[in-house]
Structure 1
């Protein structure tokens, strides 16, 4: 049924809940789990003297955090007997990176968490999950 499932992670508790669903589905179908963590780009400003931290320190920290998130999921996949590959990418818009990565890796399903915003904040802020749902040509399973 599914051969490659993309699982984007941001390290949140709700993402950990979605991981159990992704692992169960991957195990059931024999699919490989492609784990993705998206890193923030450096917040460049016109006044370079006012940067709170040097760019390389920012990049190193972002990579360390993203790699740790991917490793946590990869370890859980290994414990569940599911094959996985991990990736980190930098992107201004995580939803775009998720869709591009799914296409590049030949994924046939995206499993991701809903972040459960309600009311006015949902209307104004939206979510990366909502944007993936809106723009994806692949099936997307959203776990609440």
Structure 2
């Protein structure tokens, strides 16, 4: 995985199981690839049931025509938009691990997934697969709801002073610099007590000041909120401000230890919009 930010992506990995729940992810992959001039690598990983090998292979065989048709449609969409597209099909005992490994092998800058999915592969509401895929530490995972289309005018970045949230803030500022249709960036810090409110305000205001200096055409809004239920607050602020995407660190350990993996997972499940999860690279 390169050091390129999302606005400079060259390779986009799209994980799809062939179900309609990944339609939003497919559309976003096409849009982002067209915007960045990037290549798409479509990853179709079929789970093998170790306790019932025959049942797993029967499942795969039975779905092969449907999946083939889906993958052909994705390839055609890419071609019609002038996008280079490769398709990778694989069976795996650990589909979550295989998805991440394949994304790394193809040097993807971002991994895009649907929020829901077929049993055993992309069950991404607040289920185990979300935590598993994100838990493997791929630097950028974009989770897109089924029928959601990114307009790209407003984004919200959740910060807590951790390395992962610093990366999310950097990503948001970079998007402000490179995405011509982005108009507003909301920088949100949730603190569990009144005692931490001043620090939260300082954090959000500092990020907004830095961002405004680099992306003057974008309006930055600092938001500091006191509350014990960070996922609900983050999702509510995103909805209230009509944002298209939430940027959040995967395993933050900063200001109030709110942006941990389970919080990120809950944000994905509760958000009305797409969620971009940023994880620090290995060795950092």
TM range (shorter): 0.7 to 0.9
Give the total of aligned pairs.
131
Helix, strand or coil for the counterpart of 1:10?
A: coil
Residue 58 of structure 1, CA deviation: 5.9
Does residue 111 of structure 2 align to residue 110 of structure 1?
A: yes
Q: Is the 8 A contact 1:42 1:58 kept in 2?
A: no
Alpha-carbon distance in 2 for matches of 1:114, 1:108: 19
Bigger RCO of structures 1 and 2 (CA < 8 A, at least 6 apart):
1
Q: Is the 8 A contact 2:43 2:87 kept in 1?
A: yes
Alpha-carbon distance in 1 for matches of 2:74, 2:129: 19
Indicate the larger mover: 13-22 or 63-72. 63-72
Residue 136 of structure 1, CA deviation: 2.5
Note closer, same or farther for the CA distance 1:66–1:12 as it changes in structure 2 (3 Å cut).
Answer: closer
**CA RMSD for the aligned pairs?**
2.6
> 1:39-118 maps to which residues of 2 (within 5 A)?
39-41=46-48, 45=52, 60-61=61-62, 63-115=64-116, 117=125
| TM-score, normalization by structure 1 | 0.76
Task: Note the alpha carbon deviations across 1:96-118, whole angstroms, 9 max, x for none.
Answer: 1100101111111101111263x
| TM-score, normalization by structure 2 | 0.41
Note closer, same or farther for the CA distance 1:42–1:17 as it changes in structure 2 (3 Å cut).
Answer: same
Residue 74 of structure 1, CA deviation: 0.9
Alpha-carbon distance in 1 for matches of 2:140, 2:51: 35
2:38 is aligned to 31
Residue 38 of structure 1, CA deviation: 1.0
1:138 is aligned to 139
Q: More helix per residue: 1 or 2?
A: 1
Note closer, same or farther for the CA distance 1:3–1:132 as it changes in structure 2 (3 Å cut).
Answer: same
Alpha-carbon distance in 2 for matches of 1:66, 1:127: 23
Does residue 6 of structure 2 align to residue 6 of structure 1?
A: no
Q: Is the 8 A contact 2:39 2:85 kept in 1?
A: yes
Residue 39 of structure 1, CA deviation: 1.7
Q: Which runs of 5+ in 2 are unaligned?
A: 1-7, 117-123, 146-284
Q: Is the 8 A contact 2:14 2:112 kept in 1?
A: yes
